[in-house]
Amino acid sequence: MRTLMLAGALASALLCGTALTQAAGAADIKNGGSMIVTYKDDVATLDPAIGYDWQNWSMIKALFDGLMDYEPGTTTLRPNLAESYEMSADGMTYTFKLRPGVKFHNGRALTAEDIKYSIERTVNPATQSPGAGFFGSIKGFEEATAGDGSLSGITVVDPRTVRIELSRPDATFLHVMAINFSFAVPKEEVEKSGADFGKQPVGTGAFKLAEWVLGQRVVFERNPDYFEQGLPHLDQITFEIGQEPTVALLRLERGEVDVLGDGIPPARFLEVRGNAKNKDLIAEGGQLHTGYVAMNVLMEPFDDVRVRRAVNMAINKDRIVRIINGRAVPATQPLPPTMPGYAKGYEGYAFDQNKAKALLAEAGFPDGFDTEILANNTDPNPRIVQAIQQDLAAVGIRAAVKTLAQANVIAAGGEPQGAPMIWSGGMAWIADFPDPSNFYGPILGCAGAVPGGWNWSWYCNKDLDAKAAAADAMVDPAKKEERTAAWRDIYLKIMEDAPWAPVFNEQRFTMHSARMGGPDAIFVDPVHIPVNYEQVYATDVQ
Amino acid sequence: MAGYLARRVVQAVLILLGVTFVTFILLYLLPADPARQIAGRSATAATVQSIRQQLGLDLPLWQQYLRYLGNLVQGDMGRSYIQRTEVASLVWSRLPATLLLMAGAIVCELAIGLAAGILAAVRRGRPTDTAIMVASFLGVSAPQFVVGILLLYVFAVQLGWFPIGGYGTFAHLVLPSLTLGILGGGWYSRMARSSMVDVLRQDYIRTARAKGAGGRRIVFVHALRNAVLPLIAMIGLDIGIFMSGAVVVESVFGWPGIGQLTWQAIQQVDIPVIMGVTLTAAVFIVLGNLLADLIAPLADPRIKLR
């Protein structure tokens, strides 16, 4: 069952896939060597039930596995710890057959019990997992979150077979089985390490943890028992912590480090990218990201759709993309271009300040109005929000800018009257998994429009909620296209109501040393940031 | 002496209690909700409520504070909301690097500050004096980031004499210490100059001169010991300042000190860690001041501890 993609994205995925097959499938890649990745901030935790930032997300993927995964460099689902799976005709029951011979890093064989335990551990309130909500469609979820996490819907049929029953058809379920929060962990190690399991992770992944010196470095080494033949290519990965991105770049130029975990520092981006000798060292790709201005539809004057449309027309997106050195493409709709359901050819609201003024006048604001816009205080967000402020001023909207720490912006957004406008940069939204529904529920649906939720525009359209539920109930693989079209229509309807002004979709640029080899697709892998650790190889051992 | 120490310890405990209380109140008033932060962006309201209960965040403020103190007395500073690691081990893991950089920085500050200050005092009113004072002024007002990057670029990137950041060997310590030394040395040189000028006017210096002592002997044997007194107090203060971390310099040089941890915690509103580093810094400030007060009589026997 493959995720359907738009023609363009599908073609690129196929190309990547082919490239990867040529690269990784070929036996001419010699394994060995090592890689150094730099990061500014500490690694938070490597517990798959807890880790939820873009830095530890991919590190966890290198240490652990789930039932499902994606083809390297693409958003195409494939079985991983599962050898195969079956879906019942009504889409309510999935039966997964485990691969034989998979072992945890401690030497114990993986069984179906481990799958059940790992998911239940994430759902258990005592684990305090930020990912519990992803398993909402499994039967018994409500009782599990109120109790000890035991899910009546998960049955161990035999040591190699696990059956998962759902309480509603859920077309995103296989993506959920590929998400970190579902990854297999061994109960005995979790119980041994207690709350410190995230510092002493034990999984089935391609790498295992060799060393962790708090605040200095984390070292992974090859798992010799990894079930996938020939992987990983590297013997060792060292993550150096506490390195300012500017300094990390100097070191990369000197050949001391291999990958910039935090990316190319904005101040040097144009110069580095313009340098011909870096041409083969920088991979560019799309990111499942949209940066947007959320307008609170519960607060005047944003309760008037004309005002929201005017804001959409007032913002000069091209200029904002220039402000961030062209590291993005202007956005026309909530979904990013590489996401299934993206409406190709849809222009959105074109930049037109006269039209915006006319709409404002029509809405009863010929002289504009005063409001406030909140933004995250990390670069480049203050600069972006100032540009938005200028654009709004040009049509008469006088928006006072408030830049705050991320947690404070999120807190304000979660209050019904907390913030009239929020610039989402640095906070939202990068997809948890490559499916259009992930851009709806938490940030545009009624479920997210609750105190403390992430739907900062407080847009709640019951009719669309019903359409979204209907789309996600289309589990029949034959209805893939129909489902994608349904999602596309939902987002186009949202654009009519304009609770957001989508501004741009970030592009990813991963810079690596000449020592690192692999197809470009794995350096901008849609589900691995900054790079797919299993697939990258060292050129100096070839 | 024992009575003095006992008094100072009681004072210190009261000060630290005050620090925990004020920090706790300030962080409690922040609009960010830790339970929401831990629960993440996809959490249900029930999950958030359960986390709030588990962490005791639903209790009244005074109960939360008493719980915190109760744990603190047992050496438990709580767990980081973001890293999920014990705060004590996070702070502990960064202490060696912090102390090392502190020692290196203070040595550099003293060397630069004393040398420049004494030279300026001896050449008072001449161009050398003016030049040193201007340089000191520039030193204390230069942005840390700029000085750090400049030294890094010249000595590590261009000349390759030192590693580009990192931690582990003496070579790694030189540039960050020097950066802090150049920046802080200005304060020391101004202080050293003014106190040296004062001392050189004293009667006993005139007596020494009359007895035929040479310039160097006067400065280094007779005057210096009295002139460094105010600097000792400054070192005490510096210990406190460096304990809260040399945030900018640490991040430029990738130095794994407390400053980095503090900065990360502030950005992520990681309240237990902010509490932990604040308290650690406060402990060191109190200790640094005590140390300065205890050392002063060694330099000047006229000072009595009461």
Q: What is the pLDDT of residues B6-25, one digit of tens each?
A: 888 899 899 999 999 999 99
Tell whether the model's pLDDT for residue A18 goes beyond 80.
Answer: no
Q: B108 near B181, Cβ under 8 Å?
A: yes
| Residues, chain A | 542
CB contact under 8 A, A240 and B254: yes
CB contact under 8 A, B47 and A125: yes
Question: Rounded to whole angstroms, what are the CA distances from A258 to A56, A166, A172?
Answer: 18, 44, 35
Q: A509 near A284, Cβ under 8 Å?
A: yes
CA nearest to A404 within chain B: B267
Binding-face residues of B in 163-192 toward A, CB within 8 A: 164-167
d(CA B1, CA B3): 5
What angle, rounded to 10 degrees, do the helices at B271-299 and B2-29 form? 150
CB contact under 8 A, A250 and B264: no
Residue among B30, B54, B82 whose CB faces A44 most closely: B82
HSE at residue A259, side-chain half, CA atoms within 13 A, is: 26
Tell whether the model's pLDDT for residue A134 goes beyond 60.
Answer: yes
The three-class DSSP label of residue A257 is coil
d(CA B167, CA A306): 57
Q: Who has greater pLDDT, B229 or A235?
A: A235
Q: For residue A511, how many other CB atoms are within 10 A of its CB?
A: 22
Burial class (CB in 10 A: 0-12, 13-18, 19+), B169: exposed
pLDDT at B234: 83
d(CA A415, CA A455): 10
Q: For residue B274, how many other CB atoms are within 10 A of its CB?
A: 21
Q: Which chain B residues have a beta carbon less than 8 Å from that of A130? A: 38-43
d(CA A298, CA A296): 5
DSSP class of residue B155 equals I
Q: A163 near A155, Cβ under 8 Å?
A: yes
DSSP class of residue B277 equals H
Tell whether the model's pLDDT for residue B37 goes beyond 90.
Answer: no
d(CA A475, CA A467): 14
CB contact under 8 A, A42 and B264: yes
Name the CA radius of gyration of chain B, rounded. Answer: 24
Q: A215 near B94, Cβ under 8 Å?
A: yes
Q: Which chain A residues have a beta carbon less than 8 Å from that of B36? A: 410-411, 414, 452
pLDDT at B224: 77
pTM of the model: 0.89
Q: What is the pLDDT of residues A203-262, one digit of tens each?
A: 999 999 999 999 899 999 999 999 999 999 999 999 999 888 988 999 999 899 999 999
Tell whether the model's pLDDT for residue A102 goes beyond 60.
Answer: yes
Tokens of B14: 């009261």
Q: What is the pLDDT of residues A167-201, one digit of tens each?
A: 999 999 999 999 999 999 999 999 999 999 999 99
Tokens of A536: 């990258």
What is the amino acid identity at position A494?
Answer: I
Backbone angles phi, psi at A480, to 5 degrees: -55, -50
Q: At A27, is the pLDDT very low, low, confident or very high (cuts 50, 70, 90)?
A: low
